[in-house]
Structures are given as C-alpha cells and as structure tokens.
Structure 1
Amino acid sequence: MSLVVGLDVGTQGVKLVAYDPQQRRIVATHGRPLELVAGDDGSREQHATWWLDAIRACFARLAPDARARVAAIGVSGQQHGFVPLDANGEVLAPVKLWCDTSSQRECDEIMAAAGGADRCVALAGNPILAGYTASKLPWTRRHRPEAYARLASILLPHDYVNFWLTGEQWMECGDASGTGWLDVRTRRWSPELLAATDPERDLGACLPPLVAADASFPIAPGIAAELGLPRGVRISAGGGDNMMAAIGTGNVEPGVLSMSLGTSGTLFAHAREPVVDAGAGWAAFCDSTGGWLPLVCTMNCTLATEQVARLLGFDARDGDAAMEGTAPGAGGLVMLPFFNGERTPDLPHARASLAGMDLSNLTRGNAYRAAMEGATYSLRNGYDALLAAGLGFDAIRVTGGGGRSPAWRQMVADVFGLPVDVPVQAEGAAFGAALQALWALGAGADGPGIAAISREHVQVDPALSARPDPAAVEAYREPYAKFLRHLQAARLLHEIGPPGSG
C-alpha cells in the first residue's frame, strides 16, 4: 500500500499531493504560500530557501503513517527560473523567475549574437524570449558580477529541489527545453546558443547531465530522516510545471488539449515528433515523457481577472456572480490583459488596456467579463496557430484556479468550440509529478508506460464538464475578431521597444 508524492513548486505556493495508486485516490493535499519580490524594472524573484521551507512545512502536515508509506516523489517546478550555485552547491543570488521581464535587453543581445531570432529557431526550435533562462545569465553578469564570477552550476527550480532531495544534479529535457539552449529536435544543448549567451566561458560545463524522463535517484539519507520518510524513497526525474500538468491531465497522447487557467495561461498538447514554428507562434518544447509539448503561454490569465476584481472591490471568487446579466462581447468592452507584459505574442513591454467604453457599458460586470474574455481570447489566438500547424483536438482539459469558475469553463467551450472537461485531481502539476514518480518506480521492460498509467489514473468529473452552446459560439465570433484587431494595434505600439526607447 505504497504512496507516491507529487510536489509542485509554483510561483504562488508549494503544493504536496500524496496519491495511493492501488486505491486510485488522493489521500492528502497540503499547500504553503510563497512570497514574490517584484521590482519596477519587471524583475520577479524568490529565494530558493523559501521553497525548501514550504516543502518541509507540507511534509510536516502529512500524517506520520502516510509518510512511512511513501515510495517515490516527483517534483514539478515553475519553468525558466535561474538558480545559480557555487562549487559547494550554495545558492549565489535570488532566483529570477519565469515572469521576470527585466532581461529583455539581454534576450535581444543573445539573439543578435546568434544571428537573429530566425537563426535561434533554426538552432534550437525557439527564440530567446523574456522569461527564458538564457537571458538571466548575462543579466546576472551585468547586475550581480560577483555571483556570476562564482557560478559553477545552472539549475532550474525543480532541478534545485531535486538536488536538495538527493544531493545530485541533473536535468530532464522537458524543463531543459525552456532554458532556450536545448535543441528540441535532437535533445542536445546548442553550443552556438550557449556561446551567444556568454562567449567568454563554457556555460555547458555549468549544466548538469540530461537524464531520461523515467529516471529516478535515491533520496539522501539525511533528507529522508528530516522529512520522516523511508530511506528507500526514489526521486523521479521530475519536470517543469507544464510538463507535469500534461501528465496530470492525461495529455500524453495526441488529441487532447490541456489548458491551465492560472496566474499565466497555457495551452499545450502532446506530439510524437518536434512541432517547431518558424515564426515562433508557440514554444516548441520537449515533454517529460519522451515526446514533445508544443505550448502556448500567455503571461496574464487569472492575474487579469483578479486585478480587475480587486479594483472594483470584490473577490475574484465572486466573479461569476458579478458577471450575471452580461453577454458575450462584454457590451463592447475589449481588454488586452497585458498587465505583466506578454509572451505570446512576444510583447514584453506591452501594457493592459480597456477599450470601447461608453456611458452605458462601463459596468462592474462588463469590466470583469472583458478581463475574462481577454485572457481567453489570448489563449484562443495561440490555439489558432496550433490548428494552422496541422494539429487537431477533440477536447480540452482545464486546470488551474480559473477552471473552478463554471462561467469560465463555459466561455472556453464556446470560444474554442470544443467540449471542456475537468480532471478530478485539481492539482494537475502535482498530480502529474506523482504519476511520473509512479512510472519511474516501474521503469523497465515489464513496467507500464506513462500513457497506460495516465489512462488508468487520470479521471474527469462529468459534473464539471461544459459543452459548446451553438448560439454562444456564434455570438463570440465578432468580439474575438475585434480583440484581434486591437491586438494588431498593440503590436504596432509595443514591438518598437520599451517606453522612452524611441
């Protein structure tokens, strides 16, 4: 009666899910919030010690008899963060996160050194975007030169947690493809992009070895004792939060589109071969099962609805009630929800806007609806690019805080014209990490593959499903087209650079 544990080290908090695969039920879920240090320059940082403290707190809340049954742990982590370590494994500086846009200058410099954005796509499948790990290295060299001089290891957030748990350093290809340096076609580091990042040192020597997606390592005896776990616990390869959410939502075979309505919004699918877009309309990532994960990421999802709700004096959890009486199109209001800049499309210097206001439509309900529609339309814009690439989908699996809203689930079904299902296991990334840990336990010729494990353990809740309403599908066509026109105008305004750049 062993348990597998999934840890999700996110931006807003750490979550622990303990899963009993024999009973097919989650026996415990615990969480701990995290702080975020935000700067006016677009910087977004956390201290790595905060993650470890939160993990300790989550395990402390797990009953001793449950801890004694843990056989394996999988770690999901927010992608793209840069954890710099010295030769002794000590963290050298605060961790710059995925939502940090302060290194746009360094993105431009890396791409120029590599021969331009198109050349970066040719070398690795992706351009170097704000938020990706690569640009954080020259930013650190410029702003924290003492830390950069002592740099010995480059880890991502989930890699660092694995290092703490095991004393060993490694990466897997899913999360590694979000650095900007991994050639997703070959699953090897690009020497050209590493050199473009820093021509004066061998950054490849700072990167840990890449391991298979079903690899596992023994927990360090001291950590096992500290957390009250058996000494035989295995730590699976882990992965980025999107890669783990793909596993946790059953998106390990073609045909399913996963959507995460969290602080950021993401769309991702499974592919059996690299899906690279020459125009970089999506992130061409590897996944954490041995396949590929074409992914669309928007920087502003529940962040936008929560910001508007706060401004208007209510809690976003009451947003559905606030929207009662409104209709598709929000009375003519159009929001570009770029409060945090934007990644898809690549507009890191863009800012949010609300257009179409008149004396009758500027109501609380319409304004909140415009924020929800804007976040949904941003994801639909990315979905259109995936369709143009020849991918097809039968259904959407929705996770994240926004997925708890019946109105938002119905909006997604109507805007995308696809049925929406919600997995029973709400913590998709943490649950996916637990399933990867289960896969790693049985790795080998006789063990079940990850697709079989997913089909057996991922369940959807029929009570939370939404189906497209033909009338609403039609009603959203013109508002979505209007959103795209405003988006095109924003491109003209913001692609020239940050305010004051000329």
Structure 2
Amino acid sequence: MDYFVGVDVGTGSARAALVSSKGKIVKMTMCPLEIFHPAPNFYEQSSDNIWSAVCHVVKTVVADISADNVKGIGFDATCSLVAIDKTGSPVTVSPTGEDKQNVILWMDHRAQEEADFINAQGHEMLQYVGGRVSLEMQTPKMLWLKKNLPSSWNRAVLLFDLPDFLTWKATDSESRSLCSLVCKWNYSADPDGNNKWNEEFFDQIQLRDLKKDNWRKIGNDVRTPGDPVDQGLSAKAASELGLQKGTAVGTSLIDAHAGGLGMIGCSIPGIFPNLQSRLALICGTSTCHMIVNEKKLFVSGVWGPYFSAMVPGLWLSEGGQSATGKLLDHIIDTHPATPGILKSLSGNKHIQQYLSELLQTMTDQKALKDVSYLTKDIHVWPDFHGNRSPLADPTLKGMISGLSLSVDQENLALLYLATVQALTYGTRYILETLEAAGHRIDTLLICGGLSQNPLFIQIQADVLGLPVLCPVEKESVLIGAAILGSYAAGKFNTIYDAIQTMGGSANVIKPKNECYKYHLQKYRVFRRMVQDQKDYREIMSEEFL
C-alpha cells in the first residue's frame, strides 16, 4: 500500500502524519519546539531544534511500516524567516547574538519602523498585500536585520521562509515555493509566467544588495506547490528521517495554506463543491481566511491576490486575525476563576468544554432561547495583537465593554463567550470586505484547533448565516502537506485530482436563524468600538503638556 508523509511545523510544535492515498491519517505524532522571547515583540526559534523535531516525528510515524511504502513527503510551516551561512549553519537574528537563535518567528513584531518605511514608499507591489506590507512579512524583517545586525546580514548567504528551509534540509535544493515568495516576500507572479523579483521595489526599500548572484540569497529557482524538488530526499536526510533516498519531496506550502489545500476539496451531499465560493478558515494561534478566484480581485486590507499560491491557476486572497486561539487562551489563563476550574476538571475535559457547558446551564436558568443572548451587555474588540484584516493596523488594541467586579466562573464564561462572538464578528468584517470586492461566498470551511469547539462553530454559522463544513479528517493541515508529497510522487495526474481524492468528506453545521438579528445588533456595537478607539487615540494625540 502506498503512503505519504505530511509534516507541519507550527508555532509551538512539529507534527507528522502517515497518510493513505485516500486521505486517511494512519498515524500522527508531535514534538514541542523551543521559542525564545529575548525582548518585547521579539519571538525567535532555532532551525536546528526545528529540524531535529521534524526528524523525530517523521521517524515515529513511519516506524511500523517499510520505508519502501512511503512514496512521497510534503512540508508546511509557519512563515518564519531563517538565516543560514555559507557552511549551512545558523546565523543569529537575535539581539542576544546567539547563532542558535536564527529564526524570526512569524508573530515577531520587531520590524514596525521598517514596515512603516516600506509602506511610505507607496510602490505598486503593495497593492498585492492589501495596500500595506505587514510587519509579519519578510521584507520588513530583512530590512530590520540589515539595519540592526549588519554582521548577520553579511554572513547570511541564504534567507529562507521556514517551509523552504525544510525542503532544503530534505533535498539540498535551494528552490523556493511560489506560495512563500508571493505571500510573504513581495515576489511578483502572474498567469503569463512572468514571475520575477521587482528590482525597482527592492531598490526603493534599500534592499538592492539582494540582487547579488542572481538573487540567490532569497531564491532564483521558484516552483509551484507540489512540484517535485530535484531528485527527492538526499541520502543524509533520508537517514535522519527513516525514509529511502530519492523519496519524492513536494514543493512546500505555508502552514495555513496547507490547511486550505487539505480541506478546500472536501465534499458533502447537497452542497456543490465550488472551490471559488468557499471561504476557508485555518484556526490556530491566529486564523487565516482564504478564498480563491479565477479573477484577479484586489481587496483593501486583505493580502493578495496571489497567483497559484495555494491552488494552481487561481488567485488567492488571504485575510486573517493575528490572535484567535491565543486570545481565547489569554482570556482564560488570566482570569482569577481559572485555577479553581482546572483543579475541578476530571479526565481529559478541556476548560473550554467546561465553560461551554456552564454557559448552557446559565442559559437554561435564565430561560433564554439561545446561549448567545447571555452577552447582551458584554462586548469585545479582539485585536489584542493588532488587526491584520481588513484594517491592516498592527497598532490597534483589544477592548472590553461591560466589566464588573465579579471574578467567579460565570463571569469567566461570559467573557469567553463574548470573545468567541467577537472573533466571529471579525470574520464577518473580513467576509463583507471580500464580497464588496467581488468575491461570492456561500460556504465556510473550518479546520484547526477551534474546529473542535462546537460553540465556536455554531456561532460562526449563526453570525454569518452560512453553512459551516468541518472535515471528518480533522487534521487538514497535515492532509494538505501529504497532498504535496502525493502529487510530487506522481500518484495523481493533477493536484486537483489529489485535492478531490484526499480532501475527504465533511460534517455540516447549519445556521440557526433564531438569533441572527441579535448578532447584527452586536456587530453594530463591534464596528462602533474600533471607531471609538480611533477617536480616543485622536483625542490623546492632542498636545497636553
């Protein structure tokens, strides 16, 4: 039997899955990763630590089968920046000077000044990132590195997006993925094949030295996701991973995009699988909102359109929220009632499940028709880590209206519910912005950690008035990575065939119309809150000394 391995390197862990050609996960495991936080807004990792974790998880999932049966492997990872020297060793990106710390994590916000400088230039390339480059993208981070750590900048012979670092370690190929480059590196790609680095743009943002050696430092061999990488696994990598030399390796994807690829083809009777009308939410620490279209649609505050960045031949638009799972954890972890609840939990019950059950009890006690009505007087603006879409303003802060002196578990449950609702209103704001630009959305797809939270899923359906599909195979990101390996191995004639075959089936959650009007009213408050924050900022910007 043929198998494929999908590898996913997330923010806090590396995971691998052994996947059948039908898209069924046979075995899965994970290994935690180190994260360094040397200063406010600085988040770093170690590529040595990451590769070691990848080797561990892959060896584990293939341990019980013959390596001959593994025909291909695909990698996805966070869009983090990796610096490597001429010997293939790490180069520090850290103010600590430690070479071990050679990865600027995606969520690192050190490059605000550099992002502001790039945006002030107003180059036409910025229209492909919603009008403003994010400080989470790689051009601001490279400019920061050049300005603040010139020795590291000069020592670094190769700068990789983390997914491309993984295929380099696996194959020794310096090729790059079109996904990473167009989405995070301001690379230009279009249907006529005129794919290139825009010299004028890099001159303008003071990174003209990247043109040296035909752009080798950031990549001159660019491939479509899933395309085979050279001759497959090198002998060294094969030994480290427990696989055969020459095993096919697919060109990589960013982790969220792998999730989109893994679930966009999932099917359910009665719902037509039109790829272009499906908004995919990949939920983890943050959430990415992805939709593809045959047309080149520019959307204010939304990244893209990126040609062939996820599905070949289609333009990808990518919205997002910088803190979702992370925000829910923050609300729970910082509340005085949490330690007592955790002590009372038995078995494997998650605190979010406990809070959802408590909310239902409170709803029954108050004789309300729906749990959402509990938060009539509590409202949250959820941008505790800035706004990615559609406002593209990393300086925005979180807001809560309706606080009291209560610190009991019922108070925590209400704050938790109001935050879940606020995250969903954020998705509504993104969806409205996409549709105003020409997208048409009739279905929501959700994968990732929050897809296993029934309260979150139902509120998404209720607020948006759309059916939500949750793939039966929960780990869509790993499925997406395995699809890359299957296509590279020649298992499918086209990547579309792989998407349809390995995407599997889904469960559908339909909207309850009962509280739709209530959510519209709360959404009006939601939109008012951010305007209020801007008004406060304007008031406080006036001279007071």
| TM-score normalised by L of structure 1 | 0.90
Distance 1:460 1:495 in 2: 50
Alignment of structure 1 residues 87-486 onto 2, 5 Å: 87-93=86-92, 94-112=102-120, 115-116=121-122, 119-122=124-127, 127-185=132-190, 187-199=195-207, 201-203=209-211, 204-208=215-219, 209-217=221-229, 218-250=232-264, 253-277=275-299, 279-286=300-307, 287-290=309-312, 291-312=314-335, 313=338, 314=341, 315-324=351-360, 325=363, 326-328=371-373, 330-344=375-389, 345-357=391-403, 363-442=411-490, 447-462=492-507, 465-486=508-529
**What does the per-residue CA deviation read over 1:79-106, in whole Å, with 9 as the maximum and x for residues that have no partner?**
2x11112222222122112211110101
1:14 maps to 14
Distance 2:323 2:290 in 1: 16
Alpha-carbon distance, 1:316 to partner: 3.4
Aligned residues: percent identity? 21
What secondary structure does 1:84 align onto? strand
Distance 1:11 1:34 in 2: 8
Alpha-carbon distance, 1:238 to partner: 1.3
Alpha-carbon distance, 1:18 to partner: 1.0
Distance 2:540 2:285 in 1: 25
- CA-based RMSD: 2.6
What secondary structure does 1:335 align onto? strand
Distance 1:236 1:475 in 2: 47
What secondary structure does 2:139 align onto? coil
Alpha-carbon distance, 1:259 to partner: 0.9
Q: For structure 1, which runs of at least 5 residues remain unmatched after alignment? A: none
Counterpart pick for 2:530 among 475, 480, 487: 487
Aligned 8 A contact 1:333 1:370 in 2: yes
Distance 1:292 1:496 in 2: 41
Alpha-carbon distance, 1:122 to partner: 4.3
Letter in 1 for 2:392: D
User: Measured at CA, do residues 409 and 200 of structure 1 come closer, stay the same or move farther in structure 2, by a change above 3 Å?
Assistant: closer
Alpha-carbon distance, 1:126 to partner: 5.0
**What does the per-residue CA deviation read over 1:36-67, in whole Å, with 9 as the maximum and x for residues that have no partner?**
22354312211111211211221232243435
**What does the per-residue CA deviation read over 1:405-448, in whole Å, with 9 as the maximum and x for residues that have no partner?**
111110000111110111122221221010122122228xxx43
Distance 1:37 1:152 in 2: 23
What secondary structure does 2:276 align onto? coil
1:35 maps to 34
Letter in 1 for 2:106: W
Alpha-carbon distance, 1:350 to partner: 2.4
What secondary structure does 2:438 align onto? coil
Distance 1:294 1:496 in 2: 35
**What does the per-residue CA deviation read over 1:287-326, in whole Å, with 9 as the maximum and x for residues that have no partner?**
2332222011110111111111112305335332243324
Aligned 8 A contact 1:242 1:429 in 2: yes
What secondary structure does 2:504 align onto? coil
2:24 maps to 25
What secondary structure does 1:64 align onto? coil
Distance 1:495 1:373 in 2: 28
| TM-score normalised by L of structure 2 | 0.84
Letter in 2 for 1:238: S
Distance 1:131 1:439 in 2: 30
Distance 1:371 1:136 in 2: 31
Please identify, of 230-239 and 343-352, the stretch whose mean Cα deviation from structure 2 is larger.
343-352
For this pair of structures, how many residues does the alignment match?
489
User: Measured at CA, do residues 145 and 132 of structure 1 come closer, stay the same or move farther in structure 2, by a change above 3 Å?
Assistant: same
Aligned 8 A contact 1:424 1:461 in 2: yes
What secondary structure does 1:254 align onto? helix
User: Measured at CA, do residues 82 and 51 of structure 1 come closer, stay the same or move farther in structure 2, by a change above 3 Å?
Assistant: same
Distance 1:110 1:305 in 2: 32
Alpha-carbon distance, 1:354 to partner: 0.8
Letter in 2 for 1:19: V
